[in-house]
Amino acid sequence: MPGRTHDYRLSVTWTGNRGAGTADIRGYGRDHAVSAEGKPGLLGSADRAFRGDPSRWNPEELLLAALSQCHMLAYLSVAALAGVVVTDYSDEATGRMVEAAGNSGRFEWAELHPVVTVADESMIEAAGHLHAEARRQCFIANSVNFEVRHVPVTRAR
């Protein structure tokens, strides 16, 4: 229904205080935990390039993951409504962030590479066309100010 609102709540807690807080730009950890009621925690940090822990998720990866997840969920929905039976779906998402002056930056683009397997060869063409509708319906892609490209591959089981 148009006009409905959906509110989300989560907590981000910094866990990187190594004893002196932020007294020195190099002296504190970028580690943090993301949590939401009833869900397992997610360990995050900054990208390695920004003194983060490469074994933890960084915000840029999480943005890319959100784009990929949203497209997949929208795609599966439009496929089901169109009578296209998807039996497998995977995506290798990529993205580029560009740093700018003044310690800022922005994503320049993201590219999703969904590989969709359908139940029958007769569904391949229709399945390929459904990505445009999934893109139109994806809440996350509609919320970002950079290009989100799709390079899908569709095959039959």
Task: For residue range 49-69, list pLDDT tens digits in order.
Answer: 999 999 999 999 999 999 999
- For domain 59-156, the question of CATH label 3.30.300.20 is answered with yes
Edge-first strand order for the sheet with 94-100 is: 94-100, 104-112, 147-150
> Which sequence spans correspond to the domains of the chain?
11-50, 59-156
The pLDDT tens digits for 88-103 are 999 999 999 999 999 8
- The DSSP secondary-structure symbol of 121 reads G
pTM assigned to the model: 0.89
Site of tokens 């290009």: 147
Please report which confidence band the pLDDT of residue 1 belongs to, taking 50, 70 and 90 as the band edges.
Answer: low
